[in-house]
Amino acid sequence: MDEAKSYKWFCDALTPHEAHIHGIATIVFSKQSPYQKIEIIDTNSYGRCLVLDGKMQSSEVDEFIYHEALVHPVMLSHPDPRRVLIVGGGEGATLREVLRYTSVTTVTMVDIDRDVVESCKTYLPQWHQGAFDDPRTVLRYGDARKYLEEMGETYDIIIIDISEPVEAGPAYLLYTREFYQIVTSRLGPEGMISLQAGTTSIADLLNLSAVYQTLRTAFPIVVPYQASMPSFGLPWGFLMASKRIDPRAFGPQEIDRRITERLSCDLRYYDGPMHQGQIILPKPVRIQLEKHERIIEDNQPLFSYN
């Protein structure tokens, strides 16, 4: 108890009524960028952590779960991913995972906040592991929506690795029907996307449900799935969307075969059984996702609790 009293505490507010509290050992870096408050902290439970606008983004102990869950289901479902776009992804860990694929020729990463990327380059080397220096990496700073609207390139995979849609933050217009229509237009015939979409807690399904229904206005196939993220304090939801390919069609043996053939290293979290298991959501979550009718639009955005 005396040790706990000596901490400074970071309170990660999950809802207006629930929070996950972390004891801070050291504040490593803190800066207000033009877009958001950036903090890098050391905690005794989860090691070094990135916090944006007061919300946990990733931790040293379990970031591999989040980034493998975000990247590998969609990359392994696609028949031959070569050109990949990452929207956001400031830590460089999503980039790290994409670059594990020998088929990938180009990864373009577009992040609006240079300060986030530069601070992660300096203070989170275990996240990016030199991925920014890979010759296949193309790093751009700017608004990803504007980039997609103005650039003519098409991609096999688009991975959207952004923070939650906080009202004062930079991300909320990257969750709308209009944005997903732009994304669809920049994908090849077998193009696919993946993104994080908030918690799968049955007490707080608004964000996941609304994003799920909004994606269905732009894609014929939308697959929700989840991963356990201890540092987030709640189970976390992801979504894949596709023009043609249904990731649910691949069994454990096929996913394990593709991992062996396509990847240059072993994975710590994701494999064939995990691919199958993570798409089986609890019954009350599945029911709520289908019942929900909220569509997110530019003039009717959805904001998460902050």
Residue numbers of the chain with a pLDDT score lower than 70: 1-7, 166-170, 304-306
CB 177 within 8 A of CB 299: no
pLDDT for position 300: 87
The CATH number of the structural domain formed by 2-59 is 2.30.140.10
Structure tokens at 259: 């991992």
pLDDT of residue 172: 83
- CATH number of the structural domain 63-291: 3.40.50.150
In this prediction the pTM is 0.95
User: pLDDT of 51-101, one tens digit each?
Assistant: 998 999 999 999 999 999 999 999 999 999 999 999 999 999 999 999 999
Q: Which of 111, 113, 161, 204 is catalytic?
A: 161
Sign of the alpha-carbon dihedral angle for 84, 87, 91, 93? negative
Domain ranges for the chain: 2-59, 63-291
Q: Three-class SS of residue 108?
A: strand
Tell me whether residue 161 is one of the annotated catalytic residues. yes
pLDDT at site 1? 44
Contact 119, 29 (CB under 8 A): yes
pLDDT number for residue 4: 52
Sheet with 106-111, side-by-side order of all strands: 137-141, 106-111, 83-88, 155-161, 187-199, 234-242, 221-229
